[in-house]
């Protein structure tokens, strides 16, 4: 079984390590806070003192870090121990432009580096579930494809453009965070009307916003703003929501109202409320 390394053993990194050890891999780990790495000793991992020590002898190196500056710092620190044929698989969510520059620079310097951000939580990582997205050199992807397929139930390769996986990761997280924030506002409307949060979720038993999102999202992406729900009417409903919640804090609705007001002022009130995206899809 392969000898691999994991640098970054927070909640997600630790879960990946546990799964790899269960598969029989030999795993060395490093984390800035050593105690988080040492918690994996009980599962069979070895703990290194430095990033370079962690990757020494590893054929594959996984990064599960915080952001671009930390990735740059850790990659620089690990390179003295990196084997020439080892592949760095970076799962970190990073800025697309910085990712593209880093991929180009490292590949030109002979470092085999592939950006592979994930839509996976710790519990799913332990079970090999979730989604891994990849972009970068196809030949490099093929080297690690089978290993990635062991980590997740789905692996999506976006092609050789180095920043695409980073871009799709941010867009995906925008869905996750935005929808979560809207759920919070739904609960706040419920609070303003005496409906509990669990009862508010009963809407989902017969009301599927996901299917509506796909249909409306497609029309918006095509620049089709023929009205099925006029912006003026949608803005009226937002007003009713704001009145209902009173002084209670909201996560998203005030910002949506402000954007609607701006687009109505541009003269788009009788188009579909999806027109609020016109600047994003017509450029």
Q: Tens of pLDDT along 250-280? A: 999 999 999 999 999 999 999 999 999 999 9
Q: Is the per-residue pLDDT at 226 higher than 90?
A: yes
- Give me the pLDDT at residue 283, please: 61
Mean pLDDT of the 61-74 span:
98
Q: Is the per-residue pLDDT at 1 higher than 80?
A: no
Q: Is the per-residue pLDDT at 159 higher than 70?
A: yes
- Give me the pLDDT at residue 122, please: 97
Mean pLDDT of the 33-61 span:
97
Rg (CA), the chain: 23
Q: Is the per-residue pLDDT at 179 higher than 70?
A: yes
- Tell whether the torsion through CA atoms of 279, 158, 128 and 10 is positive or negative: negative
Dump the DSSP string for 210-250. Answer: HHHHHHHHHHHHTT----SSBHHHHHHHHHHHHHHHTTS--
Output 211-218 pairs: Cβ under 8 A, ≥24 positions apart: 216/274
Mean pLDDT (the chain) is 97
Q: Is the per-residue pLDDT at 158 higher than 70?
A: yes
86-136 confidence digits (pLDDT tens) = 999 999 999 999 999 999 999 999 999 999 999 999 999 999 999 999 999
12-33 confidence digits (pLDDT tens) = 999 999 999 999 999 999 999 9
């Amino acid at each position: 079984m392969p000898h691999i390394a994991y640098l970054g053993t927070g909640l997600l990194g630790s879960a990946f390590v546990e799964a790899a050890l269960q598969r029989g891999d030999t795993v060395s780990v490093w984390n800035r806070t050593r105690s988080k790495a040492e918690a994996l000793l009980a599962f069979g991992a070895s703990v290194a003192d430095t990033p370079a020590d962690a990757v020494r002898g590893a054929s594959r190196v996984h990064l599960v870090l915080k952001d671009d500056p930390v990735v740059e710092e850790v990659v620089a620190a690990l390179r003295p121990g990196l084997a020439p044929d080892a592949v760095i698989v970076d799962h970190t969510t990073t800025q697309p432009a910085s990712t593209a520059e880093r991929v180009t620079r490292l590949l030109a310097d002979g470092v085999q580096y592939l950006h592979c951000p994930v839509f996976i939580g710790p519990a799913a990582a332990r079970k090999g579930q979730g989604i891994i997205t990849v972009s970068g050199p196809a030949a490099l992807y093929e080297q690690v494809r089978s290993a990635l397929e062991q980590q997740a139930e789905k692996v999506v390769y976006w092609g050789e453009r180095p920043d695409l996986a980073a871009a799709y990761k941010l867009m995906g997280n925008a869905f996750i965070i935005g929808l979560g924030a809207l759920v919070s506002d739904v609960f706040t409307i419920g609070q303003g009307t005496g409906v509990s949060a669990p009862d508010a979720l009963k809407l989902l038993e017969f009301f599927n916003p996901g299917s509506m999102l796909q249909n409306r999202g497609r029309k918006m992406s095509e620049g089709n703003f023929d009205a099925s729900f006029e912006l003026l009417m949608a803005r009226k409903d937002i007003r009713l929501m704001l009145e209902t919640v009173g002084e209670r804090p909201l996560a998203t609705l005030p910002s949506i109202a402000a954007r609607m007001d701006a687009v109505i002022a541009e003269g788009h009130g009788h188009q579909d409320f999806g027109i609020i995206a016109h600047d994003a899809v017509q450029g």
